[in-house]
Amino acid sequence: MEIKYSLEGAFLYAAMLLYLSAFVASILRRVEAGRRLFCTGFITTVITVLVRWYMVRHIPMQNLYEVFLVMGAAMYSLSCFCRRILRIGADAADMLIGVIVLGPAGFFFSAEPNQLPPALQCWLFAPHVAVYLLAYILMTKAAVQAVCQLMQVTNDRDMPRPDYERGTYRMIAFGFPLMTTGLVLGSWWGHLAWGDF
């Protein structure tokens, strides 16, 4: 376990606490308070990413600490996208996923900044990793939605399931092309960096 005793760490732990508070507020049916806390946690996480970016002088997606940090920052935006565009709710689950995603960055992975190796200085590095991160979060949301559906189906056999099924399908239908795009970008990047797809 590695606790971060820095300004960056303080922002990270504050964001985790805000996401967790948002989850608790949502569970207690204080939906508006939960959304405000979730938004505040998002802003705090974005500040953490910007502080990290300033410290390392490159886009912060080089190691697992930075990847989990960026995934935590993307959680709120993706939650809003799913709610407004894909018409899928589950805010409380998104808040919990946000805490779970930030957990490894906060407690397990080293925040020691490293020099960016030449292969990672390619312009395709950032889009390749970003597209994969979005796909992973969407697939995680789809998995959580499917588990929630299964739990409700086993508790109540007569409950209609189409909303859950449509929501899970929409997230997978959006996430799978993102994963494919990440694979294509990674292959292209490999070709530019090492001369082979």
Q: How many CB atoms lie within 10 A of CB 192?
A: 12
Distance from C-alpha of 128 to C-alpha of 125, rounded to nearest angstrom: 5
Instruction: Give CA angle at 69 (65, 165), nearest 5°.
Output: 120
Q: Left if phi > 0, otherwise alpha if psi is -120 to 50, otherwise beta: which for 161?
A: alpha
Residues 79-134: tens digit of each pLDDT: 888 888 877 777 788 888 889 999 998 899 888 888 888 877 888 888 998 999 98
Residue 196, Cα to own-chain centre: how many angstroms? 30
Is the Cβ–Cβ distance between 76 and 44 less than 8 Å? no
Cα radius of gyration (the chain): 18
Is the Cβ–Cβ distance between 37 and 102 less than 8 Å? no
Residues 49-83: tens digit of each pLDDT: 999 999 888 888 888 899 999 999 988 888 888 88
Distance from C-alpha of 63 to C-alpha of 71, rounded to nearest angstrom: 12
What pTM was computed for the model?
Answer: 0.79
**Residue-level length of the chain:** 197
What are 74's two structure tokens? Answer: 């993307």
pLDDT at 153: 59
pLDDT at 157: 56
**Domains of the chain: which residue ranges?**
7-194
